[in-house]
Amino acid sequence: MAGMALAGIKQRIPSCPLIFSLLHSNLCGDSLFLEMVKEKKTRVSEENEEEHQNQEDPSQSSANQKSLYEVLGVERTSSQQEIKKAYYKLALRLHPDKNPGDEEAKEKFQQLQKVISILGDEEKRALYDQTGCVDDADLAGEVVQNLHDFFRTMYKKVTEVDIEEFEANYRGSDSEKKDLVDLYKKSKGNMNRLFCSMLCSDAMLDSHRFKDILDEAIAAGELKATKSYRQWAQQVSETIPLTDPLNQKGKLSKQSETDLSGIISQRRSLRKEQFDSMFSSLVTKHNGGMLDPEPTEEEFEATRKKLESLKQTKKTRKK
């Protein structure tokens, strides 16, 4: 276009080389400028298209991202007990005592503690369920995915026997004391959060024992007593400690099963005795002291309904 314009001008003003030169310069400059603008637009468009192609779909990215539940190998609907059990199994394999000098295992163990500090705390878990976000730099980026891949091979390798054996050796050990002190620092003396992450711990069994250990560390200047800890320690001091907490866990578990079975059996027997007694009294009253050998099904059902009616009447009167 600029070339055609120059040719026409040259034919009209052939005797003015200076004017022609200036016009040539201006027209070529405008043409060059237009070419540069066009080239830049094309380049920007290509870059934007490439960026758009490389950018992940947020919903797709979110769908592909592993959750903290998947890291532990549990369902989102799992109970706190199931979550803690899954944590124990993985922590048992990664604990520094089991992997001396293994920096990768140490790092994964620390990240695992971060996971349980969220899922093991009901408030933090509820917030995570609502938002899907983790306010912790140590669990950002691909860390969760890497943890899932790393733990996937461990899910079924730890048995109940392994857990019981580890627990028997761990409770009361120097390793437990070290972990307790470390978690106290991380939780800033919040013992509810500490119990969420502390291996093989039970608040009912270990509160007095942990208090003694932590009080000793505070007296030695190793730890500082926080406001949260002082409040918790005061509450613990007002309760009666167990005589042998280290050996109580298994006993309590077995005893609770035995007691529950015994209570159920006793209640069944008591209900049967009460029913038999009331039935006998009722039959004696209506038959002049003569007991029939065995009531018919209809008589038995009628008597049962009458007894239920009497019970309901008594309850109503009490109210």
Q: pLDDT tens, 93-138? A: 778 777 788 888 888 888 888 888 888 888 888 888 887 777 666 5
Give the Cα separation of 170 and 91 in Å (integer).
12
Give the whole-angstrom CA distance, residue 206 versus residue 151.
Answer: 29
Q: What is the CATH number of domain 66-167?
A: 1.10.287.110
pLDDT in tens, 14-55: 444 444 454 444 444 445 444 554 555 555 455 555 554 444
* CA nearest to 118, candidates 181, 193, 192: 193
pLDDT of residue 156: 57
pTM for this model (two decimals) = 0.44
